[in-house]
Amino acid sequence: MPSPVSSPVSGPATRITVLSGGVGGARFLQGLWHGIEQRLVPGVSPDARVTVVANTGDDWWVHGLKICPDLDTVMYTLGGGIDHERGWGRREETWHAKEELAGYGVEPTWFGLGDRDLATHLVRTQMLDAGYPLSQVTDALCRRWLEPTYGDRVRLLPMTDDRMETHVAIADPDSPSGRRVVHFQEYWVKLRAQVAAEALVFVGLEESSPAPGVIDAITDADLVVVPPSNPVVSVGTILGVPRVREALVATRARVVGLSPIVGGHHLRGMAEQLLTTIGVEVSAAGVGLHYGARSDGGVLDGWLVDEGDVADVRRVTEAGLACRAVPLLMTDLDATAAMAAAAVDLVS
């Protein structure tokens, strides 16, 4: 066990903070909550509170509306409104507005805004236009989605209230520079991450400030979890918000992560492509070492890899991280709760 930076919290965790992207983070959160409720996670108090700090680097403006994909995925998933098949957007969705916009030839036609989902974006945009910061807007939206089920025990915070957008430089032979920079949404939704990402540009990240509550959520936590979210464009952006990394290094909480790379591949999304872009080995060990041990200037005390990646454990341990190989497929709530239990146990 690596020696933590300051003396660790003892006893069952009551304040848990999770640094989440969209689908991977949301599914983990669902399983974690199930585990807390069903008392399947021994190291966590049944009265535990969970604060989610969510990535906002995927956010963008389209048709005059502010879209926050990862905040909404977490909110809809925990609130029972998600479309499980797609993993994003509302269940029982219809697409009339999208068809009508296409009827006018309004671009971008490749970005799907469902009719039900549209209501969320309308409320959010109106509140932003009225001057409310994103964190307060998110709070207001969560009154519908989270409060009825979780009361004040689950809180969702955007990583920052500032505008921050992930952009991707791709090769474009038609451009004089040979390159073009597109918004992350265009790279992922339109181009399906099928063109090489030459570089990532985190617009506004360095100048951003953590949203109210973010630093406290890390500093005052008993346990911080890095779920199996995209290490580059989900967790990577959260870690890039000024003062977040420092808070993780300094917190008394144990910090534990779960690998989104299983058997050398991501399970959905584009982590493989983007890890390659930033020069990180596409493996469970590669991502763990990229986050690094807190005892060595990194952000983690422990790293869980999938049972099939047991050969990676030694390299991770040698780097000063606690590491164990367990099943890491979020196939159902019980399996995901077991992952959460293993993560807590690893750093207890």
- Footprint of Ca ion (CB under 5 A): 21-22, 58, 70
Instruction: Name the minimum Å distance from CB 27 to ligand GDP.
Output: 6
Residue closer to ligand GDP by CB (options 22, 286) is: 22
d(CA 46, CA 25): 21
- Binding ligand GDP (rule: CB under 6 A), the pick from 269, 286, 288, 302 is 269
Among 138, 185, 229, 273, binds ligand GDP (CB under 6 A): 229
Shortest separation between residue 143's beta carbon and ligand GDP, angstroms: 23
Q: Which does 268 bind (CB under 5 to 8 A by kind): Ca ion, ligand GDP, none?
A: ligand GDP
Residue with smaller CB distance to ligand GDP, 200 or 262: 262
**Interface characters, 300-339, with ligand GDP (x: CB under 6 A):** ----------------------------xxx---------
The 236-265 contact track toward ligand GDP, x by CB under 6 A, reads ----------------------xxx-x---
Q: Which of residues 66-85 bind ligand GDP (CB under 6 A)?
A: 70, 73
Applying CB under 6 A, does 234 fall inside the site for ligand GDP?
A: yes
What letter represents residue 120's amino acid?
T
Residue 271 within binding range of ligand GDP, rule CB under 6 A: yes
Q: How far is the CB of 55 from Ca ion (least distance, A)?
A: 6
Q: Does 230 bind ligand GDP (CB under 6 A)?
A: yes
Binding region for ligand GDP (CB under 6 A): 20-25, 70, 73, 228-230, 234, 258-260, 262, 266-269, 271, 328-330
